Structure 1
Amino acid sequence: MSKTTTILLAEDEAVLAHIVKESLETRGFKVIHCADGEAVMSTYQEHHPDLLVLDVMMPKKDGFTVAKEIRNINAQLPIIFLTAKSQTKDVVEGFTVGGNDYLKKPFSMEELIVRMQNLLRSTTVKEADSEVITVGNYTFDVAKQQLQFQQGESVELTHKESQLLFYLLQYKNEILERSFILNTLWDTDDFFTARSMDVYITKLRKKLSKDETIKIINVRGIGYKLLV
């Protein structure tokens, strides 16, 4: 990333907050910590973070209430909830009020970081309107949703195909997790939606087939990998 990614961490457990803050900072993130929900809004307005890590049970104002307030002024900011509450209704409420992800305590720092990176990557789709990406012997015009093979014919992509290809390219030669892409593009990861995504993958393979060096492989039980 061209600039340091700023994380706003709202967590009232001092020891946990210290561990998370220190761990993220050693990985190059800038972390601003709030110890209660009431301080989040003013801190957000001062620093304009790239992502919000938000505890649910906090003094003065709970995380769900804070998320609602943030969403009133910023519909795009990635929000990850941290919580010891594990009932389904709590998870549902977290997503309903505007959360993008939900991590139950106790959690590993590696899992938190992976989830953060996934969300930060996903926001780049909205900034890619003028981007043209090289894919082997193709060029991919994100705004036009179009693939062009060298100087030859162009292939039109549907909106969903274009989004899916963009994410695969963000994870080029790495694994793109099925659950992440399903929840990001389809808002659900149920069986029928997963089958639908498989169909889109097949269509992309066909549209990229003029370049035999490009492969979209299925990593069984995990996701897909675009090899270029």
Structure 2
Amino acid sequence: MSRADGSPVRVLVVDDESSLADLLSLALRYEGWDIRSEGDGAGALRCARSWRPDAVLLDVMLPDMDGLTVLGRLRRELPDVPVLFLTAKDAVEDRIAGLTAGGDDYVTKPFSLEEVVARLRGLLRRAGAAAARSESLLTVGDLVLDEDSHEVWRGGQEIHLTATEFELLRYLMRNPRRVLSKTQILDRVWSYDFGGQANVVELYISYLRRKIDAGREPMIHTRRGAGYLIKPGG
């Protein structure tokens, strides 16, 4: 498991028990991950801000502030970083408080190092899948196109497109607010010289408008003599 650029995954360990922090750091380095350790909340926030970890192992009880406070401030800087809470508390209310505050998972002391590693691996996999999912989505206003599943929604309502309509919409949405000429669209969507039959573009633009814009603020616009563009309605 590594970052998108091939470098080691970064995990920030935050625990004021130095012996435990050292043990956790050793186990995580054995996974091939890049580890930094902090013993208090202020140090953890400074490190997170400058180092940008991929996951955080966070003790609830810290000397300067509790882990929930750290998490709240951390989320303002890194809203998507997975956080695994470490705590000696095992009350259900404490677990709920941690997860409600934005934590992703919870391990109660005493725990096995194998369990911590397994939980972190799960969080990192889910975070990676979520990031990949996010990267597959094109969004213009309330119009969303999923390049992986070939699904399209506007205002939360699914819109069914043919394969050609989908490719045309994808090209427009990859270039929001940019005027695309008929020649550019023919070259990109049909991928060959269409014998000068640029009217096929007009035809498919009209198909898209019926499905995307019908009864809504228009998003697909014509620029006379120049081409077409898509931009948020209104």
TM range, normalised to the smaller chain? 0.5 to 0.7
Aligned to 1:71: 75
1:55 aligns with 2:92: no
SS of aligned partner of 1:128: helix
Residues 36-89 of structure 1: per-residue CA shift (max 9 Å, x gap): 112111110111000000000010111110001111222210000000011111
Q: Which amino acid aligns with 1:8?
A: L
Long gaps (5+) in structure 2: 137-145, 152-162, 164-234
Moved more, 66-75 or 97-106: 66-75
Q: Which amino acid aligns with 2:94?
A: D
Q: Which amino acid aligns with 1:35?
A: G
Residues 91-120 of structure 1: per-residue CA shift (max 9 Å, x gap): 011011110000000111111111111111
Structure-1 separation of matches of 2:147 and 2:15: 39
Aligned to 1:177: none
Residues 126-145 of structure 1: per-residue CA shift (max 9 Å, x gap): 332566xxxxxxxxxx7341
Normalising by structure 1, report the TM-score: 0.57
1:83 aligns with 2:87: yes
> Aligned to 1:13, which of 13, 17, 31?
17
SS of aligned partner of 1:145: coil
Structure-1 separation of matches of 2:66 and 2:30: 28
Contact 1:128 1:143 in 2 (8 A): no
Question: Which 4+ residue blocks in structure 1 deviate beyond 4 angstroms?
Answer: none
Report 1:93-132 matches (<5 A): 93-129=97-133
Aligned to 2:35: 31
Structure-2 separation of matches of 1:34 and 1:143: 40
CA RMSD of aligned residues (A): 2.1
Aligned length: 140
Normalising by structure 2, report the TM-score: 0.56
Structure-2 separation of matches of 1:19 and 1:39: 19
Percent identity between the two aligned chains: 33
Structure-2 separation of matches of 1:7 and 1:26: 12
Residues 12-44 of structure 1: per-residue CA shift (max 9 Å, x gap): 011111111111112211110001112111110
Structure-2 separation of matches of 1:144 and 1:89: 39
Structure-2 separation of matches of 1:44 and 1:74: 8
Structure-1 separation of matches of 2:147 and 2:105: 27
